[in-house]
Structure 1
């Protein structure tokens, strides 16, 4: 499944952990926006792990499941396709 994930994390240490973890699973498309192509069970594990890391009063992580990458339009530099099946 393809996901778009964006976050707003206040603590530098937590933000770095989340950033580095997301880099392992997908591609950064902006400072705090990632595209991931992973299985649902792996996404559920990331959600559980991230929920334990963040401060729910100050931090936000948004996860948008995308039906198909083929529906997305890109203007400008294309990203690598190595993460897409």
Structure 2
């Protein structure tokens, strides 16, 4: 794979991670808006699991430190920079 192709694939994979993290955060907000029930929290668990699996796959595919990738995605989703 050419470097440009690999960088494009990395960016696309990163964007997928961000989308999965956003979906997980949104599912968490819905799940915790009311009291606990296994059925209500199932979508959150599924979304979080999909994000974690994709995170592991992304780090392995691009030779990155999984912790650092997760930190960067969390920062991007949970603590975005204000628009200047």
**TM-score, normalising length: structure 1:** 0.34
Larger of the two Rg values belongs to structure: 2
- Structure scoring higher RCO (CA < 8 A, sep ≥ 6) equals 1
Give the strand-richer structure, 1 or 2: 1
